[in-house]
Structure 1
Amino acid sequence: MTPFTLTQLRYFAAVAEADSMTAAARELMITQSALSTAMSQLEKALGVQLFMRQGTRALRLTAAGAQFVRDLTVFLEHADSLYEAAQGLAKSPVGVLSVGVFGPLASVRLPLILDELERRYPGLEVTIHESDLADQQDALRSGRCEIALTYGLGLARGFTAQALQRIPPHVIVSREHRLARRPERPVHLRALEDDPLILLDLPHSREYYESLFRLVGVTPNVRHRLVGYETVRSFVARGHGYALLNQRLQHDLTYTGDSVVPIQIADELPPIELMLVRPSDVRPTRRALAFEEVCRTLYGET
């Protein structure tokens, strides 16, 4: 028999989240003395120090405590799944699902996914972690997210990835650009070599776009490096340059009220894969599997 209880573990998770015994006690609606006693008993049972006390209120996790939080997150998720199954809820997942999403995908894909999730699984609550591609992997490793909707660029080992779509790159120019007169005609990147480039300068995205130019032997004339997808589109619409992007919107308007003109690329260039990614060493919860099911329904090509 383990020398600690599930309640103590949940108390520890709350304290680790709040970095404060007082705040956690308030959240759990128990007295601070009862919570402090539970944490002392848990540390004694484990034989390790989980917290460094800083003053009278603040706490900081030790290295052992931080590792225990990562392991505990998965354990508590499995405990919740076990409870759901015992209550006959196996086909209707409930609880909180933390989803990571690559920033440029969030506004285009996520609202439709959440609409369908709410329709199918009304007891499922979703929290969103929106960031760049590199941070998505860190969030999955640390347990901040269970699953991520992202691109497969720079994907490290230790992840299970499921491809949904292959999205080819395209060029966007302003309506006043010379190529906008024949938008139906695909363009070779060499035809834009002397034009100023507005580069989407995000980790892994940047390397991908730069690799496309290398493949066709072109050195781009980079004018601006921007981290916002809509910022790039707005700069292009105002005539500051052209851009390479993958994700295409349902309209050509930008935040400035101007429009961009999308043009296909004549060169044979590798597409980006839209993927569902999760840690390979963690069994997915029913919540994560429900999210995968909805994404496959909406965006799966196979």
Structure 2
Amino acid sequence: MELRQLRSLIALAESGFNVTQTAKRLHLVQSTVSQHLSRLENELGTEIFKRQGKRLLELTTSGEKILHYARKTLAESDNILAVGRDHVDESSGTLRIGTTHTQARYVLPAIIREFRNNYPLVNLQIHQGTPQQLVEMTARDQVDLSICTEELAETATLEAIHCYRWNRSLIAPAGHPIFSRHLLQLETLCEYPLITYVFGFTGGNHFRTSFSRLGLKPQVVLSAADTDVIKTYVREGFGVGIIASLAYSGDTDNDLQIHDLSNLFPWEVTRIAYNRDKYLRHYEEHFIELLQTMVADNGVIVERNTEETSK
């Protein structure tokens, strides 16, 4: 059994059992991919695939188990290579970060700026996705680290580390009638059309639970995964927005008034996660440390003094 056979198996499963797409992904000819898969089945002495004629349909029960261990095996081989690279060159490599739009737009710029000061030769890649997609990308080693609020803590194959807490704020054009209300409660919010995050993004589950516990039904007229989209439609007058407080910028959002809602909703926890079988390279550990220390536990970015940190 060879690693290239396992790579072909994994790529095939991720390409919907399409041998042509698998070959393109691996930069091989189709016959080579078919040969890898055939030899793997013969060596293991069991059927890995369910077939319809010559067409591969899906994995058998044994095939599912083999795929699981194939991923672990390749992860371990990558870890061995990473150890070697760490000792050969400790200042270069590639760091693949999976994250949501809110993290990429409002949290990571300061972190990456500091990281680049320390590791200018490391190639950074940012891959955006839904929380569910981030979990899958991390488990399949398509990214090295994932950052998001939901999903990560519930995934047994990932190591999830606490980074910081955050809560929500209401935004609306300056002078909006809602700001004249003496006390904002959940019942008050239900009187206005709301614009907020799509379910599954940025604490959406806790948002809905907070209302449902009181038997309330908020008027969510528009939802989006992108905070900037929410701001756009608030400016267009479609409703008032509820966003992560850390996604409000006093410089660019000064036409919008903000009101803290942390007394109405539970605090959310943002985590950074990686595959439990992964060997963390020195610069990956440094990135995690930056994320944990440069974002205070109320979601406020704490800029560092570059001259001091470089000493």
| TM surpasses 0.5 | yes
Equivalence for 2:242:
244
CA change 1:226–1:265 in 2 (3 A) is closer
Partner-residue secondary structure (3-state), 1:86 = helix
CA change 1:113–1:193 in 2 (3 A) is same
Q: Normalised by the size of structure 2, how large is the TM-score? A: 0.71
1:203 aligns with 2:200: yes
Letter in 1 for 2:277: V
Spell out, residue by residue over 1:209-243, the C-alpha distance to the aligned partner (whole angstroms, 9 max, x if none). 2333467x583541514133333222222333223
Correspondences of 1:9-24 after superposition (within 5 Å): 9-18=6-15, 19-22=17-20, 24=22
Letter in 2 for 1:292: I
Equivalence for 2:71:
73
For the Cα contact (< 8 Å) 2:207–2:265, is it kept in 1? no
Q: How many residues align?
A: 289
Q: Hey, what's the Cα distance between the residues in 1 that align with 2:220 and 2:188? A: 17
Equivalence for 2:307:
none
Partner-residue secondary structure (3-state), 1:245 = strand
Q: Hey, what's the Cα distance between the residues in 1 that align with 2:58 and 2:115? A: 35
Letter in 1 for 2:198: D
Equivalence for 1:126:
125
CA change 1:134–1:95 in 2 (3 A) is closer
Partner-residue secondary structure (3-state), 1:296 = helix
1:165 aligns with 2:164: yes
For the Cα contact (< 8 Å) 1:100–1:136, is it kept in 2? yes
Letter in 2 for 1:161: A
Q: Hey, what's the Cα distance between the residues in 2 that align with 1:27 and 1:113? A: 32
CA-CA distance at 1:178 after TM superposition: 2.4
CA change 1:190–1:214 in 2 (3 A) is same
Correspondences of 1:1-302 after superposition (within 5 Å): 4-18=1-15, 19-22=17-20, 24-25=22-23, 28=26, 32-51=30-49, 59-63=56-60, 64-87=62-85, 88-89=87-88, 91-92=90-91, 94-95=93-94, 97=96, 99-119=97-117, 120=119, 122-126=121-125, 128-131=127-130, 133-141=131-139, 144-152=142-150, 155-156=153-154, 158=156, 159-180=158-179, 187-203=184-200, 205-213=203-211, 217=214, 219=216, 221-228=218-225, 229-246=227-244, 247-251=246-250, 253=252, 259-265=255-261, 267=263, 269-279=265-275, 281-286=276-281, 289-299=285-295, 301=297
Spell out, residue by residue over 1:105-154, the C-alpha distance to the aligned partner (whole angstroms, 9 max, x if none). 232234444555555163445351411x3444454455554432111578
Spell out, residue by residue over 1:22-80, the C-alpha distance to the aligned partner (whole angstroms, 9 max, x if none). 55555655554444333322221222333456787x75541444543443233223212
For the Cα contact (< 8 Å) 1:100–1:129, is it kept in 2? yes
* Gaps in structure 1 of 5+ consecutive residues: none
For the Cα contact (< 8 Å) 2:148–2:271, is it kept in 1? yes
CA change 1:170–1:127 in 2 (3 A) is closer
Q: Hey, what's the Cα distance between the residues in 1 that align with 2:21 and 2:103? A: 35
Equivalence for 2:309:
none
Q: Hey, what's the Cα distance between the residues in 1 that align with 2:295 and 2:150? A: 15
Q: Normalised by the size of structure 1, how large is the TM-score? A: 0.73
For the Cα contact (< 8 Å) 1:174–1:238, is it kept in 2? no
CA change 1:144–1:166 in 2 (3 A) is same
For the Cα contact (< 8 Å) 2:161–2:272, is it kept in 1? yes
Spell out, residue by residue over 1:235-259, the C-alpha distance to the aligned partner (whole angstroms, 9 max, x if none). 22233322322242324757xxx94
Alpha-carbon RMSD = 3.9
Q: Hey, what's the Cα distance between the residues in 1 that align with 2:9 and 2:160? A: 32
Letter in 1 for 2:2: T
For the Cα contact (< 8 Å) 1:199–1:222, is it kept in 2? no
CA change 1:61–1:221 in 2 (3 A) is closer
Partner-residue secondary structure (3-state), 1:94 = strand
Identity of aligned residues (%): 18
Partner-residue secondary structure (3-state), 2:194 = strand
Q: Hey, what's the Cα distance between the residues in 1 that align with 2:67 and 2:258? A: 46
CA-CA distance at 1:89 after TM superposition: 3.8
For the Cα contact (< 8 Å) 1:188–1:266, is it kept in 2? no
